[in-house]
Structure 1
Amino acid sequence: MSARHFDRTVVRAVRRAAEIPQAEVGAAVDAADSTVAGWELGSSVPDQEKLPGIARALRKPLDELFPRKGAPDLIDLRCDAGLYRYEVARFIGTKSDGPVAAAENGVRRLKEKYVPKLAAAYGVSEKALEQAQERSFGNVVEEDGDESVAAAEADEHPRALGEKISFLLEHSYPAGTVPGDGEIAEAVNRHAGAEVVTAKEVETLRTGAGDADGPGPVVLEGLAEFFGVERMYFEPDEAVARQVYQGIRVLLASRNGTIGRVRARGLGPEGLSPEVLSLLTDLQAEFEKQVGSTDDE
């Protein structure tokens, strides 16, 4: 384990310079202000799992505030995601953290089906997780230059219209509230003020079995209004599609508290344009509206 270095004097200096109360730092990591005072005095040190939260509270990058020497193993990746071991079972769908504990201790490797789930929870690529696992077993593995999920999956964004619709349905609605083809068709027709698409035609669009020329502008506008995005998302623009896909992944990771090592450079050299940022804001608002309506039921 290549634990991060906690320097109490640096933490205290950064906090005081930013005029951040100890209570605010403590609240960010579920600790009393007296506990934070103890960290700064050197009478105790925080768990490695709390360092990401402390860095966020002090508005400093994790690597800058708490540097690490050497490449991370599985324990390091989990701690960098701000997760205690007992919290990981829910991500891989097991009753206990036994599989993760065994892998972290170099006893038994993770089952293949757990790798993508754990990588997503930690905010790293599957390759980075597998490399970290090898280090947990005492093997020397060089660290790749970029471990971000966005960079690792930059070429997997949805391109076709059907893929984009399916992606929004999968990621923009809470479980149990995903709308059907009929509901989507009704919303599009309501927007158009006439019947311009049927449930069967929506299914055809969603599955990608439709006309190569695609639907007309009025249908695209109706779809955009229904999903709470701008019409440009459905246009065949590779650059826009890539940015939106990667941006949504960042939003999801942030919402789930697993932003981990997702980095800005994974969003492409040009960053996110104002138009795409606006689109992502609309998506987040739509998701929160759906969550709110579900909670009220």
Structure 2
Amino acid sequence: MPARRFDRTRMRSVRRAAEISQSDVASALGVADSTVAGWELGSSTPDQEKLSALAQVLKQPVDSLFPRDGLPDLTDLRCDAGLHRYEMAAVIGTKSDGPVAGAEQGVRRLKDKYLPSLAEAYGVTVDEVRRAQERSMAKARGEEVQREAAFVPEAEEPPRTLAGKITLLLERSYPEGTAPGDAEIAKAVNAYAGAEVSNPEMMAALRTGSAGTPAPVVLEGLADFFGVARLYFEPDDAVVRQVYEGLRLMSAAKHGKVGRVRARGLGSEGLPAEVLSILNEFATEFEKKAGPTDNE
């Protein structure tokens, strides 16, 4: 299934900007505080069944906060409704969840009498359930449509200006259409500083290059929001290139081009050996998860 993408950094930034504590999130979702902390640290990820509720707690549309490539199948509809498979027997009035499990796995179609109950539980129409079922069946037959990999520039210089650096982070760190706005960034910077040190107009001016260098606390807040080193916003080419090449690798990994980026050496000027080693380990891990590519 085209599972929703969970971005721990994005979740943390949105939560902080909304001034919602980890404890509040945990209480709303019925999990331990340490569980939410683990999600944001990257030591674990929330179940797909919890993402819709998590987005609601963070006051964000689920499709914006946790986007999904492609259209939903039956499993996606169930997860978006926050329902686990073991709960489906009660929904359709059977002794087991077998009918739903079989349909989700593409083994056999649901009986028509089950469709209205599922549509009501999922908050969709019967026709949407039927279409999702066909996607589950198509997937079981190996008929998934492969998305075309995005183009990754062969040669490109890292940004030199503050505006360029902010723009790069917005373009490369978030799925299309989900980058935070100026108001969200300003709110997070103010929360970091513990004072009103920025506003949406200032963020827009910094992003477009129409403002001068801001106060150090603003740069520190930006670094915290985007999850990068404070030095990234300083005129230090080595640090900028390291962050830049890491973002390029992330972008390539998302689109199945890790091997090609790694083979280029990650930049004509080169990186420190320890940084290159870490990035190559990252690339190798992605290759293991994704399997062989056409470039190999």
Bucket of the pairwise TM-score, normalised by the shorter protein: 0.3 to 0.5
Output the TM-score relative to the length of structure 2. 0.47
Output the TM-score relative to the length of structure 1. 0.46
